Chains A and B, each alone.
Chain A
């Protein structure tokens, strides 16, 4: 039987934990300083308090005012929840100027009686402790520390309170917490990390253990946004509704014939080709056709600044400005080097949630690839795919490859993500560039696998099927 859980409201967290934190048990959130532990605690506190689960936040590291300000700054409205009596803050900070000395044995009854009172008088169901590390300072001898912590967790359990206990780690990998006693008695252990990977800061979250519950294994990318922690579970949550087969035009007449009627709705198309093969133009046509049909489209450009991209489209006879002004097209240009991949995923998520586009273009994913580690890029692509699947959106991603290699083997994670792969290529040997286009794969649809000749003309692209004789002649000359 599934154990009872409380949702946290932290995007992605309830997915990796199969439903949230264990109800009536304790959760340990461990991480070095600056990994977002407090943000995690406050976000869960606000989410549960908003859903009428009374919460007590015990602040030992920061004063009640500082915690409330932090929460309000994240848009959690902790002050409002406190005023409404849904959230309570206990301030256990001891000012730096006042020393604490030890004169013999002591126990945790001071806090325990307060917890009992909070449960009895305020019907508190959840306690966030920020942090165990600060609470047990000065640090008692190890055995005593273990007893104190055990007493705390067993009190929460006796009171049927869900505990969220934050604890400091000294390093990202290695001993879980500096106290070293917390994880044994907690049912769920979560590790937050903030590491450097190929010169880039990378935040991850890992469910280290979850008693009596399944969970996602391994580290998942996360980021701290102005609205708090966001986790990317990289697991496509398929939309439950069965989508009827629907097609839409690629914006290129001949290409629609190659695909027997256009791209499939809710599919991810990857267009591969060398520089100059017409990928950006194809991407622009995809966006334009969608916007002209009355769909909402977001075009993410990672190669050039926005004014230049818009001007280039204008010059080749594909004016975008009227569509932008009509509100059906958004062009967003970002330099991948200046953003972390997690922030980029947040940009995409926010874009999808706020603008609700049905078509998304990313030109090109290669510029992102060049600005990240292999592992980071792989996680990013899987994150993008999860996001698109979760929201049931169609997308076109372009990828730069060297000339002549556009039909070659694709990285496995990319081909898994792509519902369709289109290769665009050219052979620079003749007087004119010999351009070709070929549908490499297309899931769920018949398609023409033959090569097509591609011509770039003002206002668009045109394709025309090559005869076997023509193809043979071209191959010979190449």
Chain B
């Protein structure tokens, strides 16, 4: 039972949306921090979209976005909001590990 659940977790697709604003320095840092972090993981399981609210202010409506940068985990349920520039990577690392995303062993 337990193993089958972690099995399904491991194969679950993770849908992430990074909401940013081009006007915000923290957003620019978040983009760089996220790209650097994801380099350590196999990307096959992860769908990442970056939404710039400067060009499309309404794209964050459905996900209740008030702050930038916000990394929003849309799938799997339940949703999760990670506010901030990811200079503290632990919340995202924990999330990826929870869903069994495999680390790449190559150096970056």
Residues in chain A within 8 A of chain B (CB atoms) = 60, 90-95, 97-114, 116-117, 135, 138
Contacts and interface: CB of A to CB of B under 8 A. Distances in A.
Interface in B1-41: 19, 21, 23-24, 26-27, 29-30, 33
A121 to B, nearest CB: 9
A97 B87 CA distance: 25
Contact of B57 (A101, A106, A113): A113
Interface string B75-104: 000111111111111111000000000000
A92 B57 contact: no
A107 B26 contact: yes
A105 B53 contact: no
Contact of A116 (B26, B57, B92): B57
B93 to A, nearest CB: 10
B54 to A, nearest CB: 6
A101 B83 CA distance: 6
A114 B57 contact: yes
A104 B26 contact: yes
Contacts of A108: 66-68
Given A95-B79, A104-B85, A105-B85, 16 more contacts: A91-B64, A95-B78, A99-B81, A100-B83, A101-B80, A103-B85, A103-B92, A105-B26, A105-B29, A105-B87, A106-B68, A106-B84, A107-B24, A108-B66, A109-B54, A113-B53
B77 to A, nearest CB: 8
Interface string B31-62: 00100000000000000000001100110110
Nearest to B60: A110
B66 A135 contact: yes
A110 B66 contact: yes
Contacts of A95: 78-79
B79 to A, nearest CB: 4
A409 B26 CA distance: 72
B53 A106 contact: no
A114 B61 contact: yes
B34 to A, nearest CB: 10
Given A91-B64, A102-B84, A103-B83, A110 B21 contact: yes
A111 B67 contact: yes
A106 B21 CA distance: 11
The 5 lowest CB-CB distance pairs between A and B, nearest first, are A109-B21, A104-B84, A104-B87, A117-B57, A104-B85
B81 A109 contact: no
B88 A113 contact: no
Contacts, number: 110
A107 B69 CA distance: 7
A103 B64 contact: no
A107 B64 contact: no
Given A111-B66, A111-B67, A106 B83 contact: yes
Nearest to B51: A110
A429 B27 CA distance: 92
B65 A110 contact: yes
Nearest to A114: B57
A428 B21 CA distance: 87
A92 B19 CA distance: 14
A48 B41 CA distance: 53
A196 B58 CA distance: 45
B70 A98 contact: no
B67 to A, nearest CB: 5
Nearest to A63: B64
B67 A107 contact: yes
Nearest to A100: B81
23 contacts: A93-B64, A97-B78, A100-B80, A100-B83, A101-B82, A102-B88, A103-B71, A103-B89, A103-B91, A104-B29, A104-B88, A105-B85, A106-B84, A107-B26, A107-B27, A108-B66, A108-B67, A108-B68, A110-B66, A113-B53, A113-B57, A117-B58, A135-B66
A106 B60 contact: no
Contacts of B81: 94, 98-101
Contacts of A110: 19, 21, 53, 60, 65-68, 70
Nearest to B23: A109
A409 B60 CA distance: 69
A58 to B, nearest CB: 8
A138 B70 CA distance: 13
Contacts of B67: 106-111
Contacts of B24: 107, 109
B12 to A, nearest CB: 16
A228 B65 CA distance: 30
A98 B58 contact: no
Contacts of A97: 78
Most chain A C-beta atoms within 10 Å of own C-beta, residue among B58, B71, B83? B83
Contact of B60 (A104, A114, A116, A138): A114
Nearest to A120: B57
A60 to B, nearest CB: 8
A108 B53 CA distance: 11
Nearest to A138: B83
Contacts of A114: 53, 57-58, 60-61
Nearest to A148: B67
Contacts of A112: 21
A145 to B, nearest CB: 12
A92 B70 CA distance: 13
Given A109-B53, A114-B57, A114-B61, A103 B78 contact: no
A92 B62 CA distance: 9
